Amino acid sequence: MSVVPIRREAPAKVALERWEARRRWARAGIVYVVMLLFSLLFLGPLLFAALSSLKNDPLEYPPRIAIPQLSPANWAAAARLGRAGAHAPLWGGFGPGADVPFELTYFVPDGTEPAPPAVTVPRRRPGGELAAAQNIEYAADHAAVVPPTEIGRRAGTRSVRGKAVPGVFVSYRLRVRYRGDGPTVDRLPIDVQAPSRRQAFVGSTLPPTRLERLGLVASYDNIAPGVLGYVFTNYRRVFQQARSVTTGRSLFLSWTASSFVIAIAKVLSTLLFASMAGYALARLRFPGRNLIFVLVLFAQMIPVQVIFISNYLVLKGGIFGLSRLWGQATLLNSLSGVVLSGLVGAGAVFIMKQFFETIPREIEEAAMIDGTNQWQRYWRVVLPMARPALGALTILTFQGAWNDFFWPLVVLTTPEDIKTLPIGLLTFRNVYGATGDWGLILSGAVMSALPIIVLFVVFQRYFLEGVSYGGTKE
Amino acid sequence: MGVRRREFAAAYLFLAPFLLTLGIFFLFATARAVYFSFTNYDLFNAPTWVGLRNYDELFRDDMFLTALRNSLVFAAVVTTVQTFGALVMASVLNQRIRGLGFFRAAFYMPSVTSSVVITLIFLWMYQRRGLFNYLTTQFLANLPLLAVFLLAVVALQAGQVLYERARRLPARWTDPALLVVSLLLAAGITWGLVFSGIVSPRDVRPVEFVWLQTRQEVPAVFPGFLRAPVPLVAIMLQNVFTTIPTFMLMFLAALQDVPAAHYEAAALDGATPVQQFFYITIPAVQPVTFLVVTLGLIGTLQMFDQVAIFGNAVPLKSVITLAYFIYNRMFPGAQLPEVGFASAAAMFLAALTLVIVLLQRLFIRSEGTR
């Protein structure tokens, strides 16, 4: 800047050095802040979805971060109520001998006489067509409500549309008892209706699930939830509400099992067969080797949309009738179909071949002198050295199989039980998305992502190595 | 000869499981798809040869043309944005600092989870009263605060730089030490103004932009064939969000091999960070760029999952891609499957992918050798 007049002497060397040091520190600080912002950007949707999956209504507007499910006071109340309902402070319930106390507070402006609210135990069916097959016990059939009695009042003011209105806060306590003997019911819902709109709902032992009819009715899905039952309501519903029409088993559990079976089987077959094929391509000299290698590259380039048509027909016919040998007429809608059609991928063979080429031949030659055969050299000598590559391959294959959507969608259609988690979540989205029940969809999504996230946190190194293997493809 | 034959037999025994899988589920499948594409097969009646009729009909099918346009727009936009975004992020993150591992893991998280989970979460955030519209509302409401803050930052920074230069210290306009001071002071000033009531957030109506159930196309100023339907843009955003971290990690690995001396030398010669980005970073990572663009094109041209999951939340016509078109003709629900027609479309998709990848290869090569 020539405009700035130069009046002072040049700064001392020490000053310049201090200036540089300050600059370095500031740069590091800014880098960390930028990194944190990026992390927030990329983790934000996942974290916010996980948080919102705890809410009664994940579509609430404006979306809050401080939610009642995260308040320790509510945890304590939920545990107390769960113990009162079924001696179950964790998961709650409503069983014989239950005597559940519940308190509500209303505000009544001066000039109106407060009156106790009316309490009913509704017979609400859990929503969604996936719950249709269930034989449900209702709390309403076993509950006896002890009508609310006033337990205290104090004068105060409450701001209504910006104005401070004088009046009284009045609290009521009601009790719900279990009549006689019977089964323990999961949930104890109640509806509490204020005598008039002038008597405004202020608070209760646990916050209401929703306020209906312009605040006149405070509706609770469960007043004896237990602490886990309160915080993880939607998660429990994922397991309990979505049930198979035929077997009555929890669909989400079946899907999880399917996903694990397919992923583990694919990992095992891929590890074995890809390392065998990779070993042959890297080490052995035989006619047709170059052709096979070209086919490996070719197979990696074919879009799945080209091959799925024929593969669907092949599985439909039980791989040319082969599956009749073990009594399956068709491999459609069967987990073995998904596994058999994906025993080993060309990409996996390619990775193993690249890796085996980095192992020095001398090691095998030494073993050859000892008189071992080909299989022993592969199994005892080379394979144990391939642990890093096998680790990366395990992760890549598991991740691919766990997250695979297209092929299971084609093969596994009926019954619902047979599906894997990704296509099961599509069922959730179609059934519950229509009614706007996002709590269930989000909880299912979060849970289906958990295994892969745990795997990632534990074996991060292999995941990032997998990225670099992707880099060697070219 | 005996040894040779033994090695031959051993090789094919080792390869047997792989070759069986490859033979049945790749080679046979591809060959059969080629054959089907020349027939009118429908799963129930025996296929009869129809020559090129399926291919001819492809280009008369409205839905196919829509799918083709959507796929091309999607691939072009997403590949460009994600490649550039990943490269910029990688060069910002190319720092040798403690705790880089944690940040790398955090960035990689969206790529680890399945497309289904991420798409469901985004679908939820795209709801009429979802997070995206809420954040937009908040942004609009707080615009005055943001403006005050930015003005304060610029003014403070300018003042400080001029002062330091008057002291003959070599201050650049973006000097980090001064910037930290400016940012903190500006935040304080903004807070003070809000606290004293001089500046306050505006009252705005909640934004209720329709992301999903809409036929709107953006940007409106473009000619029709260059516009993208809003739901497709929603999928683009989601896709970029998921893929940027993976590609960024690839770029980062390449960048860490670039000697820091190059940047130092350039800085001594007076190159700005932007110049350094264009003249050092981009040439240095050219092979990785090629890989990222190739993977990006293949992935985006074959996009399917998002369309299936968005499903009836959006008009099919605005998001249908070639991959979904093929699936839809193969399993059309109540109607008869059009296996031959679907196969022809699949052949077209494979050829299109190949041609585009080869084209970009020529393009990037010539760029690199310029």
> pLDDT value at position A134?
63
**Res. B20: pLDDT tops 90:** yes
Task: For residues B342 and B281, state if they share a domain.
Answer: yes
**Res. B370: pLDDT tops 70:** no
Task: For residues A216 and A274, state if they share a domain.
Answer: no
Edge-to-edge strands, sheet with A217-220: A118-120, A190-193, A217-220, A210-212
Q: Which among B195, B228, B263 is the end of a domain?
A: B195
> pLDDT value at position B5?
82
Q: What angle do CA B348, B40, A322 make, to 5 degrees?
A: 90
For residue A390, being part of any structural domain is answered with yes
> pLDDT value at position A370?
77
Task: Find the domain containing A155 and state its range.
Answer: 68-231
Q: What's the N-to-C CA distance of chain B in angstroms? A: 53
Report helix, strand or coil for B61. Answer: coil
The CA distance from B219 to the nearest CA of chain A, in Å, is 25
- In angstroms, the CA B321 to CA B69 distance is 8
Print pLDDT tens along chain A (474 aa).
445 454 555 667 888 888 888 888 888 888 888 889 988 999 999 999 999 999 988 998 889 888 999 999 999 999 999 999 999 999 999 999 899 999 999 999 988 888 999 999 998 776 666 666 566 788 888 999 999 999 988 998 888 887 888 999 999 999 999 998 889 988 899 999 999 888 999 999 999 998 888 888 999 999 999 999 999 999 998 998 888 888 888 999 999 999 999 999 999 999 999 999 999 999 888 899 999 999 998 888 889 999 999 999 999 988 888 888 888 889 999 999 999 998 998 999 999 999 999 888 888 888 777 778 888 888 888 899 888 889 889 988 999 999 999 999 999 998 889 999 999 999 999 989 888 889 999 999 999 999 999 998 888 877 776 665 544 332
Least confident of A104-108, B102-106, B304-308: B102-106
Task: For residues B317 and B363, state if they share a domain.
Answer: yes
Task: For residues B129 and B148, state if they share a domain.
Answer: no
**Res. B231: pLDDT tops 90:** yes
Task: For residues A109 and A206, state if they share a domain.
Answer: yes
**Res. B93: pLDDT tops 90:** no
Residue type, A325: L
Nearest CA in chain A to B134: A62
Residue among B117, B137, B165, B173 with most chain A CBs within 10 A, to mutate: B117
Q: Do B117 and A425 touch (CB under 8 A)?
A: yes
Q: Which among A231, A265, A283 is the end of a domain?
A: A231
Nearest CA in chain A to B350: A303
Residues of A in contact with B89 (CB under 8 A): 38
**Res. B368: pLDDT tops 70:** no
- In angstroms, the CA A9 to CA B257 distance is 42
- For residues B15 and A276, is the Cβ–Cβ distance under 8 A? yes
Q: Do A433 and B112 touch (CB under 8 A)?
A: no
> pLDDT value at position B56?
93
> pLDDT value at position A473?
34
**Whether B355 contacts chain A with CB within 8 A:** no
Nearest CA in chain B to A286: B8
Nearest CA in chain B to A373: B10
- Side-chain half-sphere exposure of A40, counting CA atoms within 13 A: 6
For residue A243, being part of any structural domain is answered with no
Number of neighbouring beta carbons within 10 Å of residue A342: 21
Q: Do B294 and A43 touch (CB under 8 A)?
A: no
Residues of B in contact with A59 (CB under 8 A): 124, 127, 129-130
Q: Which helix (H) or strand (E) holds B348?
A: helix B339-369
For residue A31, being part of any structural domain is answered with no
Residue among A17, A35, A320 with most chain B CBs within 10 A, to mutate: A35
> pLDDT value at position B118?
95
> pLDDT value at position A9?
57
- Side-chain half-sphere exposure of A219, counting CA atoms within 13 A: 13
Residues of B in contact with A7 (CB under 8 A): 166
> pLDDT value at position B260?
82
Closest CA to A3 of B154, B174, B161: B161
**Res. B369: pLDDT tops 50:** no
Q: Count of CB contacts below 8 A, A vs B?
A: 300
The predicted-structure confidence for A339-367, as pLDDT tens digits, reads as follows: 999 899 899 999 999 999 988 888 888 87
Task: For residues A75 and A216, state if they share a domain.
Answer: yes
Q: Which among A231, A266, A284 is the end of a domain?
A: A231
Task: For residues A260 and A200, state if they share a domain.
Answer: no
Q: Which of residues 150-209 of B touch A (CB under 8 A)?
A: 162, 165-169, 175-180, 206
Q: Do B168 and A8 touch (CB under 8 A)?
A: yes
Q: For B202-217, what is the mean pLDDT?
A: 88
Q: Which residue has the higher pLDDT, A341 or B225?
A: A341
Q: Which residue has the higher pLDDT, A105 or B365?
A: A105
Residue among B3, B8, B14, B295 with most chain A CBs within 10 A, to mutate: B14
Q: Which of residues 18-47 of B touch A (CB under 8 A)?
A: 18-19, 21-22, 24-30, 32-33, 36, 43
> pLDDT value at position B199?
86
The one-character DSSP state at A287 is T
Residues of B in contact with A262 (CB under 8 A): none
Task: For residues A102 and A220, state if they share a domain.
Answer: yes
> pLDDT value at position A197?
86
The CA distance from B121 to the nearest CA of chain A, in Å, is 6
Task: For residues B160 and B216, state if they share a domain.
Answer: no
Task: For residues B134 and B169, state if they share a domain.
Answer: no
Q: Do A306 and B29 touch (CB under 8 A)?
A: yes
> pLDDT value at position A472?
38
Residues B167-195 as b or e (16 or more Cβ within 10 Å = b): ebbebeeebbbbbbebbebbeebbeebbe
- The pTM (predicted TM-score) of the whole model is 0.91
Closest CA to B357 of A300, A295, A407: A300
For residue A105, what are the β-bridge partners?
A171, A203
Q: Do B330 and A308 touch (CB under 8 A)?
A: yes
Q: Do A10 and B168 touch (CB under 8 A)?
A: yes
Cis peptide before A415 (omega within 30 of 0): yes
How many domains would you assign to chain A? 2
- Percent share of chain B, pLDDT over 70: 98
Q: Do A286 and B8 touch (CB under 8 A)?
A: yes
> pLDDT value at position A313?
93
**Res. B192: pLDDT tops 90:** yes
Burial of A373 (0-12, 13-18, 19+ CB in 10 A): exposed
The predicted-structure confidence for B245-289, as pLDDT tens digits, reads as follows: 889 888 988 888 888 888 888 888 888 878 888 888 888 888 888
The CA distance from A395 to the nearest CA of chain B, in Å, is 10
**Out of B21, B89, B125, whose CB is closest to A45?**
B125
Task: Find the domain containing B55 and state its range.
Answer: 31-140+206-369
Task: For residues B149 and B108, state if they share a domain.
Answer: no
For residue B49, what are the β-bridge partners?
B39
How many domains would you assign to chain B? 2
CATH code: domain of residue A446: 1.10.3720.10
Task: For residues B212 and B235, state if they share a domain.
Answer: yes
Task: For residues B135 and B157, state if they share a domain.
Answer: no
Residues of B in contact with A27 (CB under 8 A): 176-177
Q: What ranges in A87-226 are assigned the alpha helix state H?
A: none
